[in-house]
Structures are given as C-alpha cells and as structure tokens.
Amino acid sequence: MPAETPVISITRDGSIAIVTIDNPPVNALGLSLRQALWQTAETLDADPGVAAVVLVCAGRTFIAGADVGEFGAPPVPPHLPDVVARIEAARAPWFAAIHGSALGGGFEVAMGCRFRVAVASASVGLPEVTLGIVPGASGTVRTPRLAGVPAAVQLVTTGRPVKAAEALSLGLIDAIIQGELREGAIAFVRAALTKPLPPAISARPVAAQTTTFWAEQEAAIARRVKGETAPLRALAAIRKATEAPFAEAMAHERETFLELRASDQAAALRHVFFAERAAPRPAHLKSAAPLPLRNAAVIGGGTMGAGIVAALRDAGLPVTLIERDDAALDRGLTNVRAIFDGGVKRGKLTEAQAADRMAGVTTTCDYAALADVDLVIEAVFEEIGVKRAVFAELGRVCRPDTVLATNTSYLDPRCIAEGVAMPGRFIGLHFFSPAHVMKLLEIVPIPETAPETLATGFALGRALGKIPVQAGICEGFIGNRILKRYRAAAESLVRQGIAIEAVDAAMRGYGFAMGPFEAQDLGGLDIAHLQREAARAAGQAVPETLGDILVRAGRKGQKTGGGWYDYPPGERRPQPSATTGTLLSGAIRAGAALTPEAIAKRLVDEMAAEGAALLAEGIARNAADIDLVEIHGYGFPRWRGGPMFATRRKGAAKP
Ligand code: 3HC
Ligand code: NAI
C-alpha cells in the first residue's frame, strides 16, 4: 500500500477519538491495515486527551476479515491475534461501530473492543470454516466468553453470519444504532463512560460443558459436514477454550488455524471463494455495458419456466408468463404458486411476500403483451420446431433491443436462432432445475450475440444471485457434457465388475450427496435414453449403454419403482436389485475390485479430462469456470475445489 493512501485516519469529537478504516473494497486486514491498527493503538495510548476510541469503517462494510489473498504465503507480523490483544489492552477503551459485515478477523477485532454497536442492517459472523480454516485471532476463545458456548458453537461451526437483531439477542453486540452510525456510536460511548466498564472479554469467565454436550455437538456436526475437517476442529478449539486458560486456548487455536490454512481443503475453498467472486464480472466483458432489465417474460410454465419465473420474481422483476393455452397457463401459474407456497412452509417467505411475488406475475397467451419487455426467456418443449415458432413470434412482437434467450439443454442455439431478426440480441441462458434454487447459470452466446447481450446475461446472473459461467456451443455445453462422460465412466466400472452400489458409495464418500446411479434413478433414465435413440435414428453410431438395457426393460428409475436399484412402494432409498443384476449380467465381467478412493479418483479424473477437452476446444474459458459448473450445478463437493482443481492439486481422491 503506497504511503500516500493511508488506510486509517483519526478525527476527534472532544475526548473521543474516531478511527476510520478505509481499505477498499472490504477493509480486509492485510498487512498494511494490521500495521496501521497497531500504530494507531500506540498513538492513541500516548495521547492523554483520549478517553475512548470509536472504530468505524468507510465504504460498503466494516472489516470483512483477514485478507484471504495472503493465505497462500507465510504469515507476516504483526499477527492478527496480537493486534486484537493490543486493542483490548489499550489504555482508553475501544468501541466497534459496525455497518455491512463484521466477519472473521473483522469480528475478532470487534471483540478486542470493549463494546460493539451496529446498524440494524449489519451482520456479524465467523465464516472461517467456509474457507477450510478455524478463526485465527480468538474467535473460538473470545466468542464463548462473550456470548456463551452454544452461541459460539453455532456461529463458529456453521460459519453463518447473523443479522444485528439476532446478534443482539445472542449477546454478540451491545446495541443497535438507529439513524447515523457514527453519531449514534458516539452517544453510546458517552453513556457507557458514565458507568464502570465491563471486563475485557479475555478476562471473562467461560462455562464448562458436560462431556455429553460435546459428544452430541460432535455427532451432529459430523453428520452435517461429511468429509470437511474445519467444523470439527473449530468445535475442538471452542472446547479447549472452556477447559484451558485463555493463553493456552489461544495457542491451540493459532496452531489449528496455521495447520488448516496450509491444508488442501483450505486451498480448495479459497480457490472457489475467488472463482465465485470473479465469475459474475468476467474481464473480457469489462467494456460491454449491459442493457437495462426492468421486466421480463418467460415462455412456458413447466418445470423450468415456473422456476425461472420464481427466480425473476425473487429478484424483484415483474414477469409476464406465456403459455400455449389457458389450461397450460393455469398449470403454469399453479407451478409458480407451489414454489412460493413451499417458501412460506419452509419459513423463507412470509405470506405477504409470497402474495407480492404472485402479484408480480401476469399471465397471457397473447404475445402482443411482450411489446415492451426487456428480456424474454424461452422454456418450452425441447423440440426445435416448437422453439423456432416461439422465436418467430418473439421476433415479430418484441422491441428490436429485447434480449431473446433460450433455456435449451441440448439443442444447438444457432439452429434455434435461425431466422431471428437481429440475432445480436439472441443468447442461451441455461438454468438448472429447480431454477429458483440452483446457483448455476450457463450463458451460451451464438457467434452473432452482441457483447451487450452477453453482458446483460451476466447482469441477469448477478441480479438473480446466480453463478454465471460462459459456455461455448457443443452438445451439453460444459456441465451436461461432463455429466455424460462421468456417467459413461461409472458404467464402464460396472461393466468391469464393480458393484453399482460400490460406485455410488465411493462418490458419496468423496463428498457428493448422491452417487451417479442413484442420481439417475431420481432424475429418470428415459430422457438420456431417448436422446441416444434419436441420435441412433439420425444415423449416429451411439453404442448401447447399460441404461438403455434398463429403460427397454421398463426400468426408468424411481418413477417406475426401479432403475439401477429397486424402490418398493413408499420407499425412496435405493435397494440393490436382483432384476438389474440379471438384466445386465450379459454385459458385465466379473471380478474387478477397486477401493472407494480408486473409484472416486477414476471418475473425477474422467471429469477433469473432459474439462481439459472443453478448454482445448474453447467451450470453457478457464478451469475455474468448470469447477464452478460442477460445484453449483452437479453437487461436486465444494471443499474439493472442483474436478480441475482437485486433479491439478494432488490426485483426485486424496483426502
Ligand atoms: N480477503 C480478500 N479479499 C476479499 C475478502 C477477504 N476477506 N472479502 C472480499 N474480498 C474481495 C473479493 O474477492 C472481491 O474482490 P474483486 O472485486 O476483486 O472481485 C471484493 O472484495 C468484493 O467482494 P464481494 O464481491 O464478495 O463483495 P460483496 O459486497 O458482495 O460482499 C462481503 C461483501 C459480505 C464482505 C463478502 O465479500 C464476504 O463475505 N467476504 C468474505 C468474508 C470472510 O470470509 N471473512 C473471513 C476471512 S478469514 C479470517 O478472517 C481469518 C481470521 O480469523 C484470522
Ligand atoms: P416442461 O415440459 O415441464 O415444460 C414445457 C412447457 O412449455 C409446458 O408447460 C408447455 O405447455 C409449454 N409450451 C410448449 N409449447 C409452447 C408454446 N409453443 N408456447 C408456450 N408454451 C409452450 O419442460 P421443462 O423441463 O420445463 O423444459 C423446458 C426447457 O428447459 C427445455 O428446453 C429443456 O431442455 C430445458 N431444460 C430443462 C431442464 C430440466 O431439468 N427439466 C434443465 C435445464 C433446461
């Protein structure tokens, strides 16, 4: 950081010093800020006129944590735990005034202060486990002293931030400031100084817990996190804080932090952290301005259309839904309503919010209603003729600058766009099911797509809170093409004699929620089978798959009571199937044996090999994009970093 851009400035309001941190974009605690904080504490301690210090931040947020970008290199002093201790030991008490987010090291700095106040919109939290580490500057040791052990366990082991109101009720902050933060904080300080100060957090007691408490917590966390190591290590650090003196617990936390910081899991999660932040604003679109998005239309209210309508409404856009007839419109609207009702049932939406979401949906069969929409997303049947007819209508009624998008999974967007006037506004926007939940959005330009249209696709992704990834045109784009290779590789293992359930168990062990075969049973084997049949009918040489044998025998998955596995009535858990064994016996060789690790390595290597092919063909722009596609669209374990990262780093199945 050059000397002419100080990250900290000090002003005065009588005997109160106001320390303002200004270290954009998020006031992360890089070396220069740690040094500046230390120096500031020294300067203010030496000034007898200072009775108290308010710590406030400029810009969009309070300190968002340690500088994650520094984690790849050895730590450089002053170390953050020492900075926090220095603030806590200051002659005049410090008060943290929080807006935006006080996260990780940011909240740890706030815990070095004697009091914490925040605006109502602020959040506080210790998200370190989401980066594969534990808090490294007293989060596991001061938090239980501040708010009790259960609150500390919740905060530290989930990594989920809490809003100011909940933070207040948990005792993490002392007051919510209404109105202007700086003035409110100064008034709070003046009132606090009239009373005896509470002890520094490090000097507060912490309640011991029973062995049963720890065992229960450990079991619950282990169930939730599968192979992720940080949450259990964080729990152990909190336990240490309740059983050892402050300094000893701090040393233990630091040791754990430094060990995990150097781990494969932390490297993987950092890779994903930066990839996710880079994806919504790709460098090659810096100079392309997105078009305004004030409203949108969706054609087709089936599975995908309804989910897309819900996603658009969640982002506040008014939506027109078009269907082929009134009955289909009714079904479409029912599909949309079911999504919002589900949100109410799960406590994610209030009744009023759900009603508001529905009120913003207009339904019609008349394309004339689309004369003034900014964006249309087509989600009708996967049939080229149907789609082309829709775009012909859209070309007739929409403004020339309306962005026209298709949600096709497998059709060639260039063929869909054929005949569309001004094809510069045409683009593929490939959502994933359920579209209002899944974070991935593949953005597929055709050669004619204008940069502004592409930029609008990314702007839409940002508005919907999605992870947008650009994909070139090929069958299946990035995600479904890798899925095809993954499934083929899994089938190949079965042909070699590995049990279906052994393959699924290995992939679950690797960190997927489901293995490839049980996932196919859930989604249905018939769609991929029909695609292969269509290709065969068109004269392509598509070899017979094991899935083809099952579908021909009527086994399409859970919906037919059986696919790779059996599903007795009322049972959704897969049961190994003798029928499948018999059906496939002619295609399977006996005798191969592989460890779960070797199975996972084989399959992840296959995904990465397909990813490498996608890069070589220019379908994917970079390896990190492929990792994001797999993590956000296909359940690849985040803490493995994605197939490209995992294979590049060490070999796919290394724990
Ligand atoms: N370190 C380095 N860079 C960071 C960062 C961090 N902790 N947090 C955010 N950034 C960067 C992003 O990479 C992005 O950079 P770019 O503009 O070059 O792409 C920029 O800041 C803006 O980030 P967002 O797009 O995420 O900004 P938002 O306004 O959407 O969100 C936020 C703000 C909620 C603070 C969000 O950035 C966030 O959650 N940050 C991570 C917080 C975190 O994980 N903190 C814990 C760090 S570990 C730690 O503190 C260890 C300690 O215990 C010792
Ligand atoms: P669906 O069959 O559930 O819904 C299609 C809807 O389009 C129906 O409601 C139908 O009435 C309507 N429709 C058909 N012709 C129409 C026309 N001419 N005008 C207006 N509406 C019309 O299909 P689904 O699953 O929603 O798929 C839609 C598109 O999304 C397809 O292209 C599919 O490949 C793609 N897709 C599907 C995914 C999935 O998991 N189902 C995932 C990603 C993309």
Q: Which of 334, 381, 429, 430 has the most ligand 2 atoms within 8 A of CB, as the residue to mutate?
A: 381
Q: Give the list of residues 6+ apart from residue 51 with CB closer than 8 angstroms, or none.
A: 15, 16, 92, 193
**pLDDT classification of 652: cutoffs 50, 70, 90:** very low
Q: Which ligand is nearest to the CA of 435?
A: 2
Protein residue whose Cα sits closest to atom 35 of ligand 2: 408
Judged by DSSP in three states, 446 sits in: coil
Please tell me the least confidently modeled range out of 6-10, 171-175, 491-495, 639-643.
Answer: 6-10
Q: How far apart are alpha carbons 237 and 213 in whole angstroms?
A: 15
Model confidence at 80: pLDDT above 90: yes
State in Å: Cα 411 to ligand 2 middle. Answer: 13
Which architecture characterizes domain 8-262 according to CATH? Alpha-Beta Complex (3.90)
Ligand 1 atom closest to residue 135's alpha carbon, by position in its atom list: 53
Beta carbon of 554 within 6 Å of any ligand 1 atom: no
In this prediction, residue 5 carries a pLDDT of: 58
pLDDT above 60 (res 651): no
Q: Which CATH architecture has domain 498-588?
A: Orthogonal Bundle (1.10)
Q: Which ligand is nearest to the CA of 125?
A: 1
Q: Is 117 helix (H, G, I), strand (E, B) or coil?
A: strand
Could you tell me the distance, in angstroms and rounded to a whole number, from the CA of residue 129 to the centre of ligand 1? 14
Asked if residue 23 has its Cβ within 6 Å of ligand 1, the reply is no
Residue nearest to atom 33 of ligand 1 (CA): 26
Cα–Cα distance for residue pair 112/341, rounded to 1 Å: 44
Own/partner pairs for 334-342, CB < 8 Å, 24+ apart? 335/301, 335/302, 335/303, 335/305, 335/306, 336/301, 336/306, 336/309, 336/310, 336/361, 338/306, 339/306, 339/307, 339/310, 339/434, 339/436, 340/310
CA of 324, nearest ligand number:
2
- pLDDT above 90 covers a percentage of the chain that reads 96
Residue-level pLDDT at 3 = 44
pLDDT digits (tens, 9 = 90+) for 498-539: 999 999 999 999 999 999 999 999 999 998 999 999 999 999
Q: Has this prediction a pTM greater than 0.85?
A: yes
Please check whether residue 631 is in contact with residue 642, taking contact to mean a CB–CB distance below 8 angstroms.
yes
Compute the distance from residue 359 Cα to the ligand 1 centre, in Å.
Answer: 36
Residue keyed to tokens 């919740």: 154
For the Cβ of 253 lying below 6 angstroms from any atom of ligand 1, the answer is: no
pLDDT at 650: 64
CATH 1.10.1040.50 domain residues, the chain: 498-588
At residue 310, the pLDDT reads 98
pLDDT digits (tens, 9 = 90+) for 3-29: 445 799 999 999 999 999 999 999 999
User: Is the distance from the beta carbon of residue 581 to the nearest atom of ligand 1 less than 6 Å?
Assistant: no
Predicted local confidence at residue 448, as pLDDT: 98
Please state the rounded mean pLDDT for residues 116-125.
98
Q: Is there an atom of ligand 1 within 6 Å of 61 CB?
A: yes
The DSSP 8-state label assigned to residue 66 in this structure reads: B
518, containing H or E segment: helix 516-523
Report which bound ligand comes closest to the CA of 389.
2
Tokens of 184: 């409110």
Find out whether 579 and 504 touch, Cβ atoms under 8 Å.
no
Residue 593 pLDDT level (bands cut at 50, 70, 90): confident
Q: Residue 100 Cα, ligand 1 centroid: separation in angstroms?
A: 12
Q: Which residue among 88, 108, 606, 610 is the active-site one?
A: 108
Mean pLDDT of 243-256: 98
Summarize pLDDT for 41-58 with one digit per residue, the tens.
Answer: 999 999 999 999 999 999
Non-local (6+) Cβ contacts of 492 within 8 A are: none
Q: In whole angstroms, what is the distance from residue 416 CA to residue 379 CA?
A: 12
* Residue 84: predicted pLDDT: 98
* Ligand 1 center from residue 68 Cα (angstroms): 8
**CA 655 to centroid of ligand 2, rounded, Å:** 40
Pairing of strands 565-566, 575-576: antiparallel
Roughly how many angstroms between the first and final C-alpha of the chain, as a whole number?
Answer: 38
Of the candidates 128, 113, 194, 201, which has an alpha carbon nearest to the alpha carbon of residue 161? 128
* Token reading at 402: 């309306």
All CATH 3.90.226.10 domain ranges of the chain, comma separated, are: 8-262
Pocket test for ligand 1, best of 68, 83, 156 (most atoms within 8 A of CB): 68
- For residue 448, indicate whether it is catalytic: no
> Which is nearest to 321 in space by CA: 371, 372, 374, 367?
367
What is the per-residue pLDDT for 590? 78
- Does residue 414 contact residue 447 with C-beta atoms inside 8 Å? yes
Mean pLDDT of the 407-413 span: 96
Measure 494 CA to ligand 1 centroid, in angstroms: 44
Strands 94-98 and 115-119: parallel
Which residue from 121, 258, 277 has its CB within 8 A of the most atoms of ligand 1, so it is best to mutate?
277
Confidence of residue 1 (pLDDT cuts 50, 70, 90): very low
Look up residue 486 and give its amino acid: Y
Mean pLDDT over the full length of the chain: 96
Residue having the nearest C-alpha atom to atom 25 of ligand 2: 303
Using CB distances shorter than 6 Å, the residues near ligand 2 are 299-305, 322-324, 328, 332, 379-382, 386, 390, 407-409, 431-433
In this structure, the chain runs to a length of 655
Residue range(s) of every CATH 3.40.50.720 domain in the chain: 293-470
**Sign of the dihedral through C-alpha 161, 358, 363, 432:** positive
Residue 563: what are its φ and ψ, rounded to 5°?
A: -150, -115
- Say whether pLDDT at 653 is over 60: no
Least trusted range by pLDDT, from 94-108, 168-182, 435-449, 637-651:
637-651
pLDDT at 6: 73
Q: What is the DSSP string of 581-638?
A: HHHHGGG--S-----HHHHHHHHHHHHHHHHHHHHHTTSBS-HHHHHHHHHHHH---G
For residue 545, how many other CB atoms are within 10 A of its CB? 18
* Rounded-to-integer distance, Cα 323 and Cα 433, Å: 19
Report CA-CA distances (Å) from 342 to 305, 337, 348. Answer: 17, 8, 9
Confidence of residue 571 (pLDDT cuts 50, 70, 90): confident
Query: Rounded distance, CA 514 to CA 511, Å?
Result: 9
* 545-569 pLDDT per residue, tens: 999 999 999 999 999 999 999 999 9
Q: Is the CATH number 3.20.20.450 carried by domain 293-470?
A: no
Indicate if ligand 1 lies below 6 Å from the C-beta of 72. no
Distance of CA 80 from the midpoint of ligand 1 (Å):
17
Active site residue 128: yes
